[in-house]
Structure 1
Amino acid sequence: MKVVVVNESKHAIPKKFIEQWTESVTAELRKRKVINAEKAKRELTLVFLDKKPAQKINKEFRGKDYATDVLSFDSMDPSSLGELVMCPEVLKKQAKEHSLTFQKELGYMLLHGILHLLGYDHETSEADAKEMFKIQDTIFEKLTK
């Protein structure tokens, strides 16, 4: 999966980590037949925003008036998997709460966003949430050993 990183935040973004992590996640998703070869070749756009613009987008698209960690947007372009909008400030706060490094939290939420773009949704039902988090947690644990 080709990753395009757009950093509109004031925070440094570890692009090399993102590229390597996404490659590893894609390989694991392929092994588990969660993503096919065609989708694995698509482009993923990551946009990093500071809190205020992230909050504005969350309110506009989800009706929730706060900055969130990751938002996923499908694409009409057949060469694109979609776009993830992430907020480094929220990720840093969550990393601290979860006793993780910023990179591990970023990786976890990147995986989470990719699963959303592949059609998984933890907000639809308990069964859907269980399925999504099982895939997410299994891959995350394998890649962070």
Structure 2
Amino acid sequence: MGYDNHEISIVITDDDHMRELNSSYRGIDNTTNVLSFSMIEGDFQDMGANLLGDLVISLPTAQKEAIESGITLEERLSQLLVHGILHLVGYDHETGEDQERKMVEKSLELLKLIEPESELDYF
């Protein structure tokens, strides 16, 4: 994807903390499964040339979604990791159908690299 030798940080947290972050940064007073904080655009782009950003994943939400989807927690975490990384590098499924399609296609491509034996689909 053109970001060789870049770093991300990953925080695994609970729903209460995720709700606080989602409320503070997105104005949504609810938990969510993954939040992405990009360091290649916006206020933090000058912090370091090799920092992509931070991902925060709610483990309880990921576990619940895995059960609902009939997949393992590890598979769900792979999906959320890919989804979050794509947001870090500029993909945004909330900006229209064309962008959503591009994000789905790239997600599936990357998931096949991470989980080659799995039948994972886009969530």
Equivalence map 1:22-61=2 (5 Å) = 35-36=1-2, 39-61=3-25
Within 1, Cα distance between the matches of 2:69 and 2:111?
14
User: Residue 102 of structure 1 aligns with which residue?
Assistant: 73
Residue identity matched to 1:84:
L
Q: Which runs of 4+ in 1 moved over 6 A?
A: none
Name the residue aligned to 1:81: 52
- The one-letter amino acid of 1:128's match is Q
Q: Does 1:138 align with 2:109?
A: yes
* Equivalence map 1:8-23=2 (5 Å): none
- 2:98 alignment partner in structure 1: 127
TM-score normalised by the chain length of structure 2: 0.83
Amino acid of the structure 1 residue aligned with 2:23: K
Distance in 1 (alpha carbons) for counterparts of 2:36 and 2:4? 17
Following superposition, the deviation at residue 136 of structure 1 comes to 0.5
Moved more, 61-70 or 133-142: 133-142
Q: Residues of 2 paired with 1:141 and 1:47: CA distance?
A: 23
Runs of at least 5 residues in structure 2 that lack an aligned partner in the other structure: 40-44, 118-123
1:113 to 72, 84, 87: 84
- 1-side partners of 2:32 and 2:110: how far apart? 22
In the TM superposition, residue 115 of structure 1 has moved relative to its aligned partner by 0.6
Counterparts of 1:40 and 1:115, CA distance in 2: 14
Match of 1:123, SS state, is helix
Q: For 1:52-103, what per-residue CA distance to the aligned partner results, in whole angstroms no more than 9, with x for missing partners?
A: 1110100111111111111000123222110001110000001011111000
1:135 counterpart letter in structure 2: K
Equivalents in 2 of 1:132, 1:113: separation in Å?
11
Match of 2:36, SS state, is strand
State the Cα RMSD in Å. Answer: 1.2
- In the comparison of the two structures, how many residue pairs are matched? 109
Please state how far the C-alpha of 1:50 moved relative to its aligned partner: 1.1
Q: TM-score, normalised by structure 1?
A: 0.71
